[in-house]
């Protein structure tokens, strides 16, 4: 609203509160039900006019209210001009209609004397153009938007700050949600971002599981604000993806020649990315065939990289099923997803430490350095497929068999409401607990001897119990509590066992014992 008024004043050659702007004035938009107020100046607001109010209703409160037509298309065009102008503070900017801008200032704050000085320079520059702004700096676009609209003036959320604590006091409107979702959250008593963080994630996920849009799902917005998932933005000026290509003098049909061309392109891409300080996360290889067909192969990496040998090795697996037909006449390698990747002196440090042999300058030296975890994941994904590679991630549950789940290596990690750092779990947990026979001191004493898989073990040491109550929100009413013990037998082998239930709990007969994990 303020942006439209500022632009109207600029068009009229007025300063704020000068000339006709000193009197109650409103910008109106024509609707099916008549003219409606789109924005009102300070005098108009003081007289009772509000955005969204019908002009007839506003005139009953303020008969002398002057009006001027609003121009949303002109406002958007002016905002695009400002977005290009705002790139003076960063490499790219994006629109946040109807009146916002997002500017990426990563690595540019020192050019202005620091983050505070950058914000001051931005505010002063907009003020010279007759535009009032609220600025904020944050690691994510969502957090910057929230602070700029609902936080203190010139707020800065640094990368080392705790975003959960800093943003907890902001209203839920800072999530950029649709109005009906905000109304629902307020009815549920969720008025601040801290209220959402204190809830179980699964319960909110069930409530909004049918909301696919980010503006209709508070969990997606929270993840974007906290940087748990990326938030795609469309820059005003398109950033060209690094691209290299080869136009072949003669069409090639043999795979060995194609692999050679791909290796040369990977080397070219390495030089391009190194010059821009980037690493590739996704690469697209386009093969133009003589018969007019285009074949595209894509690979994604677990971490930014520009190592030509690694990239060529990944694509080599994707070329096995390529049918060259009458030949391939052009090959293009493009990186649509890049991330910053600074130069490192790891080889120099290893040489100083004497870790590299005489083959350092050649390929043997590189091979001696071993394979990083990210490169290993890349090779496994290419060889086995993305659906065959999984990694365990924590999951919020009291029960050990439910405390982790599996997901793809390239998928963003879902957050949990909290982990139980005080609990000590064995490295090996059985797929399902196995029932054992235990001699123990009744009713709830320590175990003395147990029998598992036909072998009897005397308990030399024991520790516990750690009591875990049933998850009442998932279980039925007759599920019994568990008392876990860490025990060690006479041979030094350590086990993790638990007793299901206690005598007289009213949920069954005598307690049963189970072995669920092995230490060491």
Question: Minimal CA–CA distance to 423: which of 444, 447, 398?
Answer: 398
d(C-alpha 247, C-alpha 330), whole Å: 5
Q: Residue 326's pLDDT is what?
A: 86
Between β-strands 25-31 and 66-69, what pairing exists: parallel, antiparallel or unpaired?
parallel
Count of CB atoms situated within 10 Å of the CB of 243: 16
Looking at the whole model, is its pTM more than 0.75? no
3-state class (DSSP) for residue 466: strand
Other beta carbons within 10 angstroms of residue 149's beta carbon come to 15
Cis peptide before 98 (omega within 30 of 0): yes
Distance, CA of 327 to CA of 251 (rounded, Å)? 5
Residues 98-136: tens digit of each pLDDT: 899 999 888 778 878 889 999 999 999 899 888 989 999
The pLDDT score that the predictor gives to residue 496 is: 93
- Listed residue (103, 99, 25) closest to 69, CA to CA: 25
In angstroms, the CA 205 to CA 470 distance is 22
Q: What are the backbone angles phi and psi of residue 283, rounded to the nearest 5°? A: -130, 140
SS3 assignment, position 409:
coil
Q: How far from the centroid of its chain's Cα atoms is residue 37's Cα? A: 38
CB atoms within 10 A of CB 4: 20
Give Cβ neighbours of residue 397 (< 8 Å, ≥ 6 apart).
403, 471
Beta bridge partners of 286: 296, 332
What is the model's pLDDT at position 361? 41
Residues 436, 515: Cα–Cα separation, whole Å: 7
The answer to whether 5 touches 38, Cβ cutoff 8 Å, is no
- Tell me the three state secondary structure of residue 66: strand
- Strands, sheet with 66-69, edge to edge from the N-terminal-most edge strand: 34-40, 25-31, 66-69
> According to the 3-state scheme, what is the secondary structure of 158-187?
CCCCCHHHHHCCCEHHHHCCCHHHHHHHHH
Question: Tens-digit pLDDT profile for the chain (520 aa)?
Answer: 688 888 988 888 888 888 888 899 999 998 888 899 999 888 888 888 888 899 999 888 888 889 999 999 999 999 988 888 888 888 788 999 889 999 988 877 887 888 999 999 999 989 988 898 999 999 999 999 999 999 999 999 988 888 888 999 999 999 999 988 899 888 888 889 888 876 777 777 778 877 778 888 888 898 889 888 888 888 777 667 888 888 888 888 888 899 999 999 999 999 999 988 889 988 999 888 887 778 889 888 888 889 999 999 999 888 888 888 888 988 989 898 888 887 776 665 555 555 444 444 444 444 445 567 788 888 888 888 878 888 888 777 778 877 778 888 777 665 554 445 556 788 888 888 999 999 988 878 889 999 999 999 999 988 888 888 888 777 777 788 899 999 999 899 999 999 998 888 888 788 899 999 998 7
pLDDT of residue 142: 93
What pLDDT shows up at residue 321? 85
Full DSSP string of 5-46: HHHHHHHHT--TTSGGGGS-EEEEEEETTEEEEEEE-HHHHH
């Amino acid at each position: 609203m303020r942006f439209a008024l500022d632009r109207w004043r600029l068009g009229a050659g007025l300063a704020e509160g000068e000339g006709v702007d000193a009197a109650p004035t409103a910008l109106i938009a024509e609707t099916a039900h008549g003219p409606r107020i789109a924005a009102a100046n300070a005098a108009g607001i003081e007289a009772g006019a509000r955005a969204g109010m019908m002009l007839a209703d506003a005139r009953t409160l303020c008969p002398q209210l002057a009006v001027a037509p609003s121009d949303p298309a002109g406002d958007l065009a002016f905002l695009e001009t400002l977005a290009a102008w705002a790139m003076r503070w960063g490499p790219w900017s994006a629109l946040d209609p109807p009146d916002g801008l997002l500017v990426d200032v990563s690595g540019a704050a020192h050019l202005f004397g620091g983050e505070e000085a950058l914000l001051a320079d931005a505010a002063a520059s907009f003020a010279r153009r007759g535009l009032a702004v609220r600025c904020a700096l944050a690691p994510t676009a969502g957090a910057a938007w929230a602070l700029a609209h609902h936080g203190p003036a010139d707020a800065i959320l640094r990368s080392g700050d705790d975003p959960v604590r800093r943003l907890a006091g902001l209203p839920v409107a800072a999530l950029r949600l649709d109005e009906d979702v905000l109304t629902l959250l307020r009815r549920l008593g969720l008025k601040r971002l801290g209220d959402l963080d204190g809830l179980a994630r699964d319960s909110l996920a069930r409530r909004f599981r049918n909301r696919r849009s980010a503006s209709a799902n508070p969990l997606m917005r929270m993840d974007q604000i906290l940087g748990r998932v990326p938030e795609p933005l469309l820059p005003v000026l398109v950033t060209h993806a690094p691209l290299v290509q080869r136009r072949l003098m003669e069409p090639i049909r043999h795979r060995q020649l194609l692999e050679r061309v791909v290796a040369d392109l990977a080397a070219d891409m390495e030089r391009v990315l190194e010059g821009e300080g980037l690493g590739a996360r996704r690469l697209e290889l386009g093969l133009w065939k003589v018969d007019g067909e285009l074949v595209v192969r894509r690979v994604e990496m677990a971490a930014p990289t520009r190592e030509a040998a690694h990239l060529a090795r990944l694509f080599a697996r994707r070329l096995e099923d390529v049918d060259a037909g009458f030949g391939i006449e052009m090959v293009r390698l493009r990186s649509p997803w890049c991330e910053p990747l600074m130069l490192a002196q790891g080889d120099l440090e290893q040489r100083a430490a004497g870790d590299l042999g005489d083959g350092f300058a050649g390929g043997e030296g590189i091979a001696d350095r071993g394979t990083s975890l990210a490169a290993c994941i890349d090779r496994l994904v290419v060889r086995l497929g993305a659906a065959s590679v999984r990694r365990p991630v924590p999951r919020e549950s009291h029960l050990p068999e439910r405390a982790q789940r599996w997901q793809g290596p390239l998928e963003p990690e879902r957050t949990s409401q909290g982990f139980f750092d005080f609990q000590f779990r064995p490295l090996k947990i059985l797929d399902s607990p196995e029932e054992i026979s235990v001699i123990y001191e009744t009713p709830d004493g320590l175990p003395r001897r147990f029998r598992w898989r036909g072998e009897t073990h005397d308990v030399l040491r024991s520790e516990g119990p750690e009591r875990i109550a049933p998850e009442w929100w998932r279980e039925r009413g007759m599920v019994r509590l568990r008392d876990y013990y860490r025990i060690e037998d006479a041979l030094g082998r350590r086990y993790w066992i638990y007793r299901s239930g206690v005598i007289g709990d009213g949920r069954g007969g005598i307690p049963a014992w189970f072995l669920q994990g092995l230490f060491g």
